[in-house]
Amino acid sequence: MIAINPVDLPPRDAYRLMTSVIVPRPIAWVSTIGNDGSRNLAPFSFFNGIGGNPPTLMISVGLRKGQPKDTLRNVQENGEFVVNMVSEDLGPQMNLTAGEYDYEVDEFALAGLTAAPCDLVKPPRVAEAGVAMECRASQLVQVTDTTYTVIFGRILRFHIREGLLRPDGLIDANALRPLARLGGDQYATLSPTFDMPRPS
Ligand SMILES: Cc1cc2nc3c(=O)[nH]c(=O)nc-3n(C[C@H](O)[C@H](O)[C@H](O)COP(=O)(O)O)c2cc1C
């Protein structure tokens, strides 16, 4: 076995190593809106669900050149965001929205995506996404010794494309075809799923 002390690595290499170990990661495609009306859309793979009742998720957003990324700025302004799920066919558009654009740039327009209105929050959802979750931030936590802020959000509304919700109340992952992020520029798609009932 190779033992590596991350402290001995340049920060970028420690980041690259970690993100190639913790795989596959789901991708939150996060839409937000500034108080001036600027729309924003960007992907985040430091993303997961963290509790079920009420359904709560998290994304972790780093700084860019010492300043909050647009997503964090908008959530700091009004606490609202939408997590859109990225399916395989939306990979190229998702990637386009990861560019470091000026605050005023509308990534919906840039990537040729349709902004659909939400029910309870101001940011629009991505109409092309099979599932979107309207969220309200419940906590913003600046993580000690890092440049990251974790945004915890309560899910207020699910939007699910017809045909994706199975009769048992689960999303049909084989129909959703989620894209996952690996290390560097690598991505993965879902291989055939299988069931493994838990011991009673
Ligand atoms: C698949 C993917 C996942 C990403 N995950 C994260 C992440 O978890 N945290 C982060 O700070 N940046 C992440 N990024 C980079 C941001 O998407 C990028 O910095 C983007 O420009 C931020 O946009 P914003 O300033 O409009 O918020 C990721 C990029 C890609 C392509």
Question: Over the stretch 87-112, which tens digit does the pLDDT of each residue have?
Answer: 999 999 999 999 999 999 999 999 99
Residue 4 inside a domain? The answer is no
For ligand 1, the distance from its centroid to the CA atom of residue 198, given in whole angstroms, is 35
Q: Cα separations (Å) of 54 from 29, 138, 152?
A: 21, 11, 12
In a domain, 95, yes or no: yes
CATH number reported for the structural domain that contains residue 132 in this entry? 2.30.110.10
Domain count, the chain: 1
Report the pLDDT value the prediction gives residue 98, as an integer from 0 to 100. 98
Q: Does the bond joining 54 to the residue before it have cis omega, within 30 degrees of 0? A: yes
Residue identifier of the C-alpha nearest atom 30 of ligand 1: 43
Distance of CA 195 to the CA centre of its chain: 26
> Is residue 165 a contact partner of residue 77, using CB atoms and an 8 Å limit?
no
Q: Which residue has the tokens 């990324």?
A: 69
| Residue 140 forms part of a structural domain | yes
- CA–centroid distance, 38 to ligand 1, in Å, is 18
* SS3 at position 108: helix
- Residue type for position 172: D
pLDDT value of position 56: 98
Max Cα separation, the chain? 54
Closest CA to 33 of 67, 93, 96, 75: 75
Percent of the chain with pLDDT over 70: 100
Domain assignment present for 16 = no
Residue 192 included in any domain: no
Ligand 1 atom showing the smallest separation from residue 47 Cα = 8
Ligand 1 pocket by C-beta < 6 Å: which residues?
Answer: 27, 40, 42-46, 60-62, 64, 69-71, 95, 98, 100, 181
Question: Quick check: is 20 in a domain?
Answer: no
- Examine residue 75 and state whether it is found in any structural domain, yes or no: yes
CA distance 11 to 138: 30
Q: Name the nearest CA neighbour of 97 among 115, 80, 121.
A: 115
pLDDT for 143: 98
Residue 186 falls inside a structural domain: no
- Residues 106-144 have pLDDT tens digits of 999 999 999 999 999 999 999 999 999 999 999 999 999
Burial tier of 19 (Cβ tally within 10 Å: 0-12, 13-18, 19+): middle
Give the residues across from 80 on adjacent strands. Answer: 136
Q: What's the pTM?
A: 0.98
pLDDT at residue number 117: 98
Residue type, 196: M
Q: Which domain holds residue 171?
A: 25-180
